[in-house]
Chain A
């Protein structure tokens, strides 16, 4: 968390992350790309496979860009869904190397 400035861009995830939310979520990530980002998952009630794809792809993209991606304030439901889908929450974040 130390490498993200308090004023960095944030993205609050909507409560329902199902099929219908995937396109909008992808759009959000694409517009925020190229800068450190804090993703707030505090409101998430439901997570579907397709939004998970977006989150995973976003993490990969941020890693490729060497930008930090953080996940804040995960709701119980979000963590449970990640566990069910076989994804550790830290797999969705990326810390930039201090040296870079």
Chain B
């Protein structure tokens, strides 16, 4: 690779990071939890992209980034209030910027019209920001009986769209004290150009009340994001003492009153607000802040560079492979030492034990290199939600939790598609239209919640919507129509919900291009299962559905129980095992045909002879001659596995059987044991599920066999 191409590649990698930061910052601003620093970070991200793009002469990118940056600068300096409409524009601009970066990287093309339209919108809002202040600075009253608050209130159209009303707010305000309202209609356009649902008016309210600023803010609490609100106190708390006044005491000691520092004030306020003072001197203000900020930005980026290095993924993968070999080798060495009959307390055995600890630690550290927060996947989702919501005409908001949850890079790469599909589904099928939601007494805006957390050595991802839930009658009807279940099948609610994972199932009456090609959830489940994961759904009518994905943290190692069945060594994943027990013949009851159940603390659990289910032998082992492991599979389904003996617990390196041989039902993967022999890793879910369906739902297993 020639040096320029390498630098270019680095630039694009950095662009991806900047874009992620940009999006994250904008979402913080949208949710109202942004700090002053967030706005700066967002600005820096766009600025860096612009700078880099300039070096590589990516003109389209530079031009757009410049317009974007200008608007952000106005937000930063307070000349442009970051209301809902502005943020929406900024978010869309971030999407376009990402498209432009991608196009530049792959020499592709972008939707020129969309870019141009955004540039026009930017010009419009920028002009608004540059116009003279909406509120002429009020002259402070000399001496008022009660402190007078000057409130300037400019609703955005979103305020009305959310069914809020200025008149009601003013009425609320009047409860605090007598108000005087002056309407500023200077921004009202010509009648023919008026958008009936736009918002053009500013109200300047003088409130005479002895209350705190917070009390006034509380009135506007629910509309704060959808309006421009300035509250200033016209009369100082101590009217007698003005800035510049000097009091001289008897002893000649004097106090001088200084005006309160304005800049501290601004920095202390969390959300960027457009204070009246900021309208007048924007150039001076930004000039004053810029050099300092630029330096801070530089220092920060320098620190970030030194703290991380970029490593080619292949190198990490190679290292992981080697560590895997090391683990196997270490196990072999232990085995040899054991065979040589060296005493446990001997120096060799002790050194070996230390080696074992060390190996494990190395392995964990190497895995940690590959571990990445799921943030990188989560960050793609807000855009998806915006686009799908726009396509379906629904209102949706994405709430994410646990973005910092770490998981192996290969897992991250492979969950992006299933998650995308599930979120599309949640909006397209899960959420109702705004009208229906309002009719059902819910807010028009639906919420899709995406969360990640670690639970017992696995990562659990949840996609939940607050929509209508699964229409079970419709699902069942559809399953009957498609011949997926028998007409007389008696299914529990849970089983009906899980029908949607069957191949060839789609509940949407019309096939949309968003989801509902009839392959959706089936494909999702397949890709999740291929990752060694499980997927389940829970749904409450009227309250929404939750899809739960549980995935292994890594695809490279596994903690397993080493067992033997008819002379074959097998590994059972430790995560699936609930307990081990020694069955008594008296507790075992035969059920019709080939299934036995065991009585366990008052309940009955089906038993599976592992050797027989894998076809190692035909006759069944006597339960009292074997060891039983109680396991829990997908959706909490329990079964008891019968094996000949348990040999211990071990961390094993997973080798794909599918890649090296072919997929075997009932077997998840393979591993190499200390003695050099290959052991198979049992697919607990598959084994448990076959018994379940054989046991009670022949019709379901039939359907799944199709």
Contacts and interface: CB of A to CB of B under 8 A. Distances in A.
A and B assemble together: yes
Interface of A: 18-19, 22-23, 25-26, 29-30, 33, 46-50, 52-54, 56-58, 60-61, 64, 81, 84-87
B185 interface: yes
Contacts of A25: 196
A60 B187 CA distance: 12
Given A86-B203, A87-B183, A23 B197 contact: yes
Given A86-B181, A86-B182, A26 B165 contact: no
Contact of A50 (B170, B182, B185, B199): B199
B191 A33 contact: yes
Interface centre among A22, A23, A47, A81 (most CB of B within 10 A): A22
B160 interface: yes
Contact of B188 (A23, A57, A64): A57
Given A19-B160, A49-B165, A53-B201, A84 B196 contact: no
Contacts of B142: none
A26 B196 contact: yes
A57 B190 contact: yes
A23 B191 contact: no
B194 A81 contact: no
A66 to B, nearest CB: 14
A84 B167 contact: yes
Contacts of B165: 18-19, 48-49
A26 B194 contact: yes
Nearest to B161: A19
Contacts of A56: 185, 188, 201
A19 B197 contact: yes
A56 B194 CA distance: 11
A49 B168 CA distance: 10
B186 to A, nearest CB: 11
A25 B197 CA distance: 11
Interface string B171-207: 1001000001111010011111010111111010100
Interface centre among B167, B192, B199 (most CB of A within 10 A): B167
A19 B157 CA distance: 10
A81 B563 CA distance: 81
Nearest to A22: B196
Given A33-B191, A86-B183, 15 more contacts: A19-B197, A30-B191, A48-B165, A48-B166, A49-B167, A50-B197, A50-B198, A52-B201, A53-B185, A53-B198, A57-B188, A57-B191, A61-B190, A84-B171, A87-B183
B203 A85 contact: yes
Contacts of A23: 196-197
Q: Which 8 pairs of residues, A with B, have the shortest CB-CB distance? A: A86-B181, A61-B191, A22-B196, A49-B166, A23-B196, A86-B183, A26-B196, A57-B191
Nearest to A50: B160
A80 to B, nearest CB: 9
Contacts, number: 83
Interface centre among A29, A30, A48, A57 (most CB of B within 10 A): A57
A81 B183 CA distance: 13
B201 A49 contact: yes
Given A49-B166, A81-B167, A54 B194 contact: yes
A54 B163 CA distance: 18
B606 interface: no
A30 B192 contact: yes
A60 B198 CA distance: 17
B197 A22 contact: yes
Contacts of A33: 191
Contacts of A48: 160, 165-167
Nearest to A29: B191
Contacts of B189: 57
A84 B181 contact: yes
Contacts of A50: 160, 196-199
A18 B203 CA distance: 18
Contacts of B196: 22-23, 25-26, 50, 53-54
A60 B203 contact: no
A85 B160 contact: no
Interface centre among B167, B174, B191 (most CB of A within 10 A): B191
Given A85-B166, A85-B183, A86-B203, A58 B191 contact: yes
18 contacts: A18-B165, A19-B163, A25-B196, A26-B196, A29-B191, A52-B201, A53-B185, A53-B194, A53-B200, A54-B196, A57-B194, A61-B190, A61-B192, A64-B190, A84-B171, A85-B166, A86-B182, A86-B205
B188 A49 contact: no
Contact of B167 (A22, A47, A60, A64): A47
B435 to A, nearest CB: 13
A63 B180 CA distance: 27
B157 to A, nearest CB: 8
Contacts of B200: 53
Contacts of B197: 19, 22-23, 50
B165 to A, nearest CB: 5
Contacts of B129: none
Nearest to B205: A86
Nearest to B183: A86
B160 A49 contact: yes
A93 to B, nearest CB: 15
A53 B188 contact: yes
A26 B193 CA distance: 10
Contacts of A85: 166-167, 170, 181, 183, 203
